[in-house]
């Protein structure tokens, strides 16, 4: 069974249709890269998966649970679908270490000592072993985003959602975040990534989806699509991105 | 005219007794007002239509009427209307709790809603229930932002206790009034009363500064 399955999902904001009967299945260990012009619905599609946005029509099943099953069940989905935000959204009153240890302690009921030990390990994994006692305000954007990735991973999700994770970063800081994401993909993590990083899509992505006006208009192999975009709108879009 | 220090020395025991009562009413009022304000402020910010409506009505009624009218209502009108008899002290504390609560509710609402919504989403995305997001993530950030306006409200409420002179609570202003009526030393007595208020509000300001220094505003 697919880990994420959209069945004719519709999402509207007032009169605006943001997702228009979207069908999409994502399998284990896929790295799906979502691209498209702003307003095409790619961020909304991502945010529907962990129910930060409520869908208006159709059904959306994540890890066997429908987003329509109610609040308690939605929390189970969120525990299995870690999210990384464009603006990092680290908890400012906590150190990097406490940010990462927070989820396991309060969601999984892990003991403080164990959660901190695991947090240290995860910070090491994202290359920030020596930054554990710093507050978010004392870290660079790239460092904050890596802490945010560690925070999401700490809850041991089956799936990771990335909402433009490098868009708020300077070019030289993007690479350190993309490196972490790449190694995560190499470990077999299922990932859905909204991004404008075409090099990442080509090298790490297993699947590229191009969205337009709330619909998926192209879905295929990233390398092939980027080398030879037959869809004229995709071709035009790629010219603007490069 | 001569400033007679001896008048102040003679009046001091009674004035200090009044100040003690002022502190007591203010303290009870601030603790109670903080609890009432926290609950109604959160009802305003995150409640459904019904809870929000109740809290809104409370805030509007209290903010829209003078505190003197409120305490008169509790002390004189409530016994007639509902056969509830209260002593002046109870009426005073109730009035200050209800009054401060309404203003603090707006402080709480504003502070919580001023916290970047990304933090709420980050908490929810981890799989936390909303109450944990409020208690552990938004609350601590909002609390730091509440300190300056809360300080303002604390000082206003402390001084508002002087209005309870109208129902005969023997707080500081009332004590001053009574001594003045006996010896007509207006300059000495009102100077002493003013200085005592300044000492109390100054202590409050100092305590708030200390709290603010220990917690960085985020």
Q: Give the count of domains, chain B.
A: 1
> Binning pLDDT at 50, 70 and 90, where does residue B217 land?
low
Q: According to the model, what pLDDT value does residue B168 have?
A: 87
> Binning pLDDT at 50, 70 and 90, where does residue B83 land?
confident
Q: What is the ipTM of this complex?
A: 0.94
Range of the domain at B79: 5-214
Q: Which of B15, B173, B16, B161 is nearest to B89 (CA)?
A: B161
Contact with chain A for residue B147, Cβ under 8 A? no
Residue B14 has a CB neighbour count (10 Å cut-off) of: 15
Q: Is the distance from CB of B173 to CB of B162 less than 8 angstroms?
A: yes
Residues of chain B contacting A71 with CB distance shorter than 8 Å = 129
Q: Which of B20, B164, B125, B92 is nearest to A62 (CA)?
A: B125
Residues of chain A contacting B126 with CB distance shorter than 8 Å = 78-79, 82, 102-103, 106-107, 151-152, 155
CA A204, chain centre distance (Å): 14
Q: Is the distance from CB of A191 to CB of A179 less than 8 angstroms?
A: no
CA distance A77 to chain B (A): 8
DSSP H helices in chain A: 42-49, 71-80, 96-103, 112-125, 141-154, 171-186, 198-203, 222-227, 232-241
Q: According to the model, what pLDDT value does residue B46 have?
A: 94
Q: According to the model, what pLDDT value does residue A242 have?
A: 63
Q: According to the model, what pLDDT value does residue A121 have?
A: 96
Q: Is the pLDDT of residue B107 over 80?
A: yes
Structure tokens at A118: 């695991």
CATH code assigned at B179: 1.10.3720.10
Per-residue pLDDT of chain A (242 residues; tens, 9 = 90+): 799 999 999 999 999 999 999 999 999 999 999 999 998 999 999 999 999 999 999 999 999 999 999 999 999 999 999 999 999 999 999 999 999 999 999 999 999 999 999 999 999 999 999 999 999 999 999 999 999 999 999 999 999 999 999 999 998 899 999 999 999 999 999 999 999 999 999 999 999 999 999 999 999 999 999 999 999 999 999 998 86
Mean pLDDT of B4-13: 90
Which residues have C-beta within 8 Å of that of residue B94, sequence separation ≥ 6? B74, B86
% of residues, chain B, pLDDT over 90:
80
Residues of chain B contacting A167 with CB distance shorter than 8 Å = none
CB proximity under 8 Å: B 83-142 to A: 116, 118-119, 121-129, 132, 136-137, 140-141
Q: Which of A138, A153, A26 is nearest to A79 (CA)?
A: A153
Mean pLDDT of B173-194: 92
Which residues have C-beta within 8 Å of that of residue B136, sequence separation ≥ 6? A102, A106, B123, B128
């Amino acid at each position: 069974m697919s880990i994420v399955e959209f069945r004719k999902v519709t999402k509207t904001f007032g009169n605006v249709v943001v997702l228009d009967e979207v069908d999409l299945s994502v399998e284990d260990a896929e790295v799906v890269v979502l691209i498209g012009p702003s307003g095409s619905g790619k961020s909304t599609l991502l945010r529907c998966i962990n129910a930060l946005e409520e869908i208006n029509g159709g059904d959306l099943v994540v890890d066997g649970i429908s987003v329509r099953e109610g609040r308690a069940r939605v929390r189970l989905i969120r525990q299995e679908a870690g999210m990384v935000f464009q603006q990092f959204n680290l908890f400012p009153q906590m150190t990097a270490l406490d940010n990462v240890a927070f989820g396991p302690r309060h969601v999984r009921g892990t003991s403080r000592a164990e959660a901190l030990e695991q947090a240290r390990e995860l910070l090491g994994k994202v290359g920030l072993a020596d930054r554990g006692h710093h507050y978010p305000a004392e870290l660079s954007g790239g460092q904050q985003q890596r802490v945010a990735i560690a925070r999401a991973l700490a809850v041991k999700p089956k799936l990771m959602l990335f909402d433009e994770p490098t868009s708020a970063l300077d070019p030289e800081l993007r690479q350190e975040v993309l490196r972490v994401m790449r190694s995560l993909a190499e470990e077999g993590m299922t990932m859905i990534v909204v991004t404008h990083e075409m090099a990442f899509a080509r090298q790490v992505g297993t699947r590229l989806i191009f969205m337009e006006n709330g619909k998926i208009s192209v879905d295929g192999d990233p390398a092939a699509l980027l080398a030879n975009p037959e869809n004229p709108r995709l071709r035009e879009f790629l010219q603007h991105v490069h | 005219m001569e400033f007679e220090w001896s008048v102040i020395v003679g009046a001091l025991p009674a004035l200090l007794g009044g100040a003690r009562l002022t502190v007591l009413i203010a303290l009870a009022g601030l603790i109670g007002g903080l609890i009432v304000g926290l609950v109604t402020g959160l009802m305003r910010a995150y409640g459904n239509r019904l809870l929000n409506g109740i809290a809104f009505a409370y805030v509007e009624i209290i903010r829209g009427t003078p505190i003197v009218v409120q305490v008169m209502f509790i002390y004189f009108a409530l016994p007639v209307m509902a056969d509830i008899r209260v002593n002046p002290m109870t009426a005073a504390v109730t009035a200050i709790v209800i009054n401060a609560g309404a203003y603090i509710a707006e402080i709480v609402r504003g502070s919580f809603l001023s916290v970047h919504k990304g933090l709420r989403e980050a908490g929810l995305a981890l799989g936390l229930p909303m109450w944990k997001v409020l208690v552990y993530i938004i609350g601590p950030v909002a609390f730091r932002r509440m300190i300056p306006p809360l300080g303002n409200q604390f000082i206003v409420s402390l001084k508002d206790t002087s209005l309870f002179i109208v129902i005969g609570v023997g707080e500081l202003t009332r004590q001053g009034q009574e001594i003045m009526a006996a010896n007509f030393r207006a300059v000495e007595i009102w100077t002493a009363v003013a200085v005592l208020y300044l000492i109390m509000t100054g202590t409050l300001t100092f305590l708030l500064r200390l709290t603010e220094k220990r917690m960085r505003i985020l």
